[in-house]
Amino acid sequence: MPTQKKESQTKSNKNLFCGNILISEPFIQDAYFFRSVVLLIRHDLNSSTGLVYNKKTDLFLNDFIKDLEFSKKIPLYLGGPVHQEKLFFIHSFENVIIPNSIEIKEGLFFDGDFDTIKSLLLNNPSIINKQIKFFLGYAGWSKGQLNEEIAQNSWLIGQTDNRQIFKSSGDELWKEAVKSVGGPYEKWLHFPKAPYLN
């Protein structure tokens, strides 16, 4: 039986692990990362990789994969500025093994055999937005870059459960992520989106 791979992830920041989320500080004006929440899928001494999971696009997987012929539209999310021509996905299936998947954290996996995924989608479209999410591109950091950005308070390290990752998108998900950290960071929720207009 195929098994899902578990890759050992090396820590380069004692508080940063694969499966953590990165919550952007409210004044980042970069279009990709403004009020974004990033799932960290890889982090070691040489580089870091993540997927922005709250930026839904106007595109649908159905428009790219022609043999997914059913009425339910599968949204695509903007995973980040790197390799936006490529498709990536995360999934959380309790009783289904997806060959060649990489475990991010318990119960949450990255990529895998796409034919298996297509079969699941065709036979059970209700899993969309509940157990699987598709992305164009990803976010990447070179050696030491992410740790430096965290030290500069560009990112807040947070935690989330798997259900929340598939739950919603947009500004509301960013606000929920900030609330989950709480404390002094809740003041972020009251900052205007365009402070230079005040």
Q: Mean per-residue pLDDT for 15-22?
A: 91
* Enclosing domain of residue 35: 21-181
Tokens 């402070």 belong to 195
By C-alpha distance, which of 174, 53, 46, 61 is closest to 104?
A: 53
Kindly report the CATH number assigned to the domain that includes residue 81.
3.40.1740.10
Residue 160 in any domain: the answer is yes
Q: Going by C-beta distance under 8 Å and a sequence separation of 6 or more, which residues neighbour residue 153?
A: 25
Q: What is the reported pLDDT for 7?
A: 38
CA 108, CA 92: separation in Å to the nearest integer? 5
Residue 187 in any domain: the answer is no
At position 63, the amino acid (one-letter code) is D
Residue 189 in any domain: the answer is no
Residue 191 in any domain: the answer is no
Predicted confidence band of residue 45 (pLDDT cuts 50, 70, 90): confident
Residue 197 in any domain: the answer is no
Handedness of CA 146, 150, 152, 153 (dihedral sign): positive
Residue 86 in any domain: the answer is yes
Q: Say yes or no to pLDDT of 193 above 90.
A: no
Share above pLDDT 90 across residues of the chain, in percent, rounded to a whole number: 57
Mean pLDDT value across the chain: 86
Predicted confidence band of residue 19 (pLDDT cuts 50, 70, 90): very high
Share above pLDDT 70 across residues of the chain, in percent, rounded to a whole number: 89
Residue 122, CA atoms < 13 Å, CB-side half-sphere: 11
CA 101, CA 78: separation in Å to the nearest integer? 21
Residue 141 in any domain: the answer is yes
By C-alpha distance, which of 156, 162, 194 is closest to 175?
A: 156
Least confident segment among 50-54, 56-60, 140-144, 167-171: 167-171
Considering its fold, how many domains does the chain have in total? 1
Are residues 32 and 78 in contact, defined by beta-carbon separation less than 8 angstroms? Answer: yes
Global pTM value = 0.87
Residue 188 in any domain: the answer is no
